[in-house]
């Protein structure tokens, strides 16, 4: 069977259309809260995503280190997302990573198509766009490039961009340093949970098995940003997700019942707690619901690195030290693959439910619940 052809959002965006195709128009209940990202970013009031200064984590003074861990713990418990500053990855490395991604996406679409993935046959790495293969048929206003980046012996460099010529070199540099940062954050969170410093790292497979998957999200300018989403509301299935962007706002976080814009904080890396860590921490840390808005003025690009356990090798369950008679396990054991399957199943059920609701307008109650439960996995 011929692979299903995805329409590139970039080609739609540059075709001169003034209104977006109906598959990209969000359902009625979401439209009321899609805001202008630039207006949102200017707002001074309202909750602000916490910032963790990792320089404090390196302090010689144990009191300073403990205070920093306290802040990290609070951010992971209350928000499930935070900015990391003084994270130790040099600006030069980050800037070159961004330049390489931008250079790839500035190639003509025909060039990028040479790297197209084929989701139907399970070839998920490469250049792609969402296919309308879920029950609701809904599409997202983005194209992406997705590939495994670490451990290095598991990479398939043959499918990585050959242009620009330094793509492999700079992406390798970034992911090596990000892997070190992952160990640092997992170590600090383990201490916060009251377990051995290397406990979380070991539980998810350590250097050999924890996978770092890079997804470059490319959100073209959208003629009707008030009707579309770049990525729909979801929680990440990962352990942690690290995010960089080109300083164009767009990420929103669902905090205390409201969508909050993540401001562009220079020289920071944003980190999300994902479902895997929510499970291991027995629900202490929250996998935050988030989504990506688009805009009419500027292309937005983000670099998400999902740190994921291997699909079948490890059974994910709350750390035994955290399970007691008074705090029983809140999650049933599952492999990562099973967790993803359960989410896809739930999401498809919700899509069908939403369709039914749309066809029967007298039933209009499913709004935020549908979004809250909706989930997203790395492209597959």
Ligand X SMILES: O=C(O)CCC(=O)C(=O)O
Catalytic machinery residues: 215, 234, 236, 290
Q: Is 251 in the site for ligand X (CB under 6 A)?
A: yes
Q: Which of 225, 292, 309, 318 binds ligand X (CB under 6 A)?
A: 292
Nearer Cβ to ligand X (100/304): 304
Task: Name every residue whose Cβ is closer than 8 Å to that of residue 133 and which is 6 or more positions away in sequence.
Answer: 4, 119
d(CA 148, CA 224): 33
Q: Of 19-27, 131-139, 244-252, 365-373, which part binds ligand X (CB under 6 A)?
A: 244-252
Q: Is 149 in the site for ligand X (CB under 6 A)?
A: no
Report the DSSP pairing between strands 211-219 and 143-150.
Answer: antiparallel
Q: How many residues bind ligand X (CB under 6 A)?
A: 12
d(CA 332, CA 342): 12
Q: Which of residues 213-242 bind ligand X (CB under 6 A)?
A: 215, 217, 231
CB 141 → ligand X: shortest distance, Å?
11
d(CA 17, CA 47): 37
Nearer Cβ to ligand X (69/376): 376
CB 110 → ligand X: shortest distance, Å?
25
Report the DSSP pairing between strands 251-255 and 290-292.
Answer: antiparallel
CB 57 → ligand X: shortest distance, Å?
25
- CB-CB neighbours of 231 under 10 Å: 23
Q: Which of 190, 213, 282, 302 binds ligand X (CB under 6 A)?
A: 302
Q: Do the Cβ atoms of 10 and 217 come closer than 8 Å? A: no
CB 320 → ligand X: shortest distance, Å?
30
Q: Which of 96, 147, 173, 290 binds ligand X (CB under 6 A)?
A: 290
Paired with 118 in beta bridges are: 123
Q: Which of residues 349-378 bind ligand X (CB under 6 A)?
A: 376
Q: Of 4-12, 149-157, 173-181, 243-251, which part binds ligand X (CB under 6 A)?
A: 243-251
Q: Is 304 in the site for ligand X (CB under 6 A)?
A: yes
Nearer Cβ to ligand X (224/246): 246
CB 144 → ligand X: shortest distance, Å?
7
Q: Which of 243, 248, 253, 279 binds ligand X (CB under 6 A)?
A: 243
d(CA 226, CA 295): 8
H-helix or E-strand spanning residue 258? strand 258-261
Q: Of 7-15, 26-34, 86-94, 245-253, which part binds ligand X (CB under 6 A)?
A: 245-253
Q: Is 250 in the site for ligand X (CB under 6 A)?
A: yes
d(CA 205, CA 97): 27
Q: Do the Cβ atoms of 277 and 285 come closer than 8 Å? A: yes
Residue ranges in the chain assigned as alpha helix (H): 9-13, 28-31, 37-42, 62-78, 91-105, 109-113, 167-193, 199-203, 206-209, 275-280, 336-359, 368-373
The residues that touch ligand X, with contacts defined as CB under 6 A, are: 215, 217, 231, 243, 245, 250-251, 290, 292, 302, 304, 376
């Amino acid at each position: 069977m011929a692979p299903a052809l995805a329409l590139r959002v970039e080609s739609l965006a540059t075709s001169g259309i003034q209104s977006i195709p109906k598959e990209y128009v969000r359902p009625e209940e979401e439209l009321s809260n899609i805001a202008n990202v630039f207006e949102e970013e200017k707002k001074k009031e309202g909750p602000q995503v916490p910032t963790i200064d990792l320089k404090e984590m390196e302090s010689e003074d144990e009191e300073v280190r403990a205070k920093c861990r306290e802040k990290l713990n609070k951010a992971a418990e209350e928000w499930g997302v935070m900015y990391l500053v003084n994270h130790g990855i040099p600006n030069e490395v980050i800037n070159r990573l961004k330049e390489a991604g931008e250079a790839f996406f500035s190639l003509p679409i025909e060039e990028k198509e040479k790297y197209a993935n084929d989701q139907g046959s399970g070839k998920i790495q490469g250049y792609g766009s969402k296919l309308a293969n879920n029950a609701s048929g809904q599409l997202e206003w983005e194209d992406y490039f997705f590939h495994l980046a670490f451990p290095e012996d598991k990479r398939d460099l043959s499918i990585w961009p050959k242009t620009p010529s330094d793509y492999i070199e700079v992406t390798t540099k970034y992911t090596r340093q990000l892997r070190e940062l992952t160990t640092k954050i997992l170590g600090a969170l383990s201490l916060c949970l009251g377990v051995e410093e290397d406990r979380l790292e070991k539980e998810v497979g350590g250097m050999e098995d924890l996978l770092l998957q890079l997804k470059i999200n490319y959100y073209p300018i959208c003629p009707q940003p008030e009707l579309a989403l770049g990525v729909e509301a979801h929680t990440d299935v990962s352990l942690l997700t690290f995010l960089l962007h080109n300083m164009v706002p767009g990420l929103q976080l669902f905090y205390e019942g409201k969508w909050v814009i993540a401001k562009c904080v220079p020289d920071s890396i944003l980190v999300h707690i994902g479902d895997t860590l929510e499970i291991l921490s027995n629900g202490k840390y929250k996998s935050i619901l988030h989504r990506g808005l688009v805009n009419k003025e500027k292309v937005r690009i983000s670099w998400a690195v999902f740190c994921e356990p291997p699909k079948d090798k490890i059974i994910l369950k709350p750390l035994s030290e955290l399970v007691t008679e008074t705090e029983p396990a809140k999650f049933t054991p599952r492999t990562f693959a099973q967790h993803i399957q359960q989410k896809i199943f739930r999401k498809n059920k919700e899509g069908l439910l939403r369709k039914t609701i749309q066809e029967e307008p007298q039933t209009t109650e499913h709004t935020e619940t549908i979004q809250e439960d909706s989930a997203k996995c790395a492209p597959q």
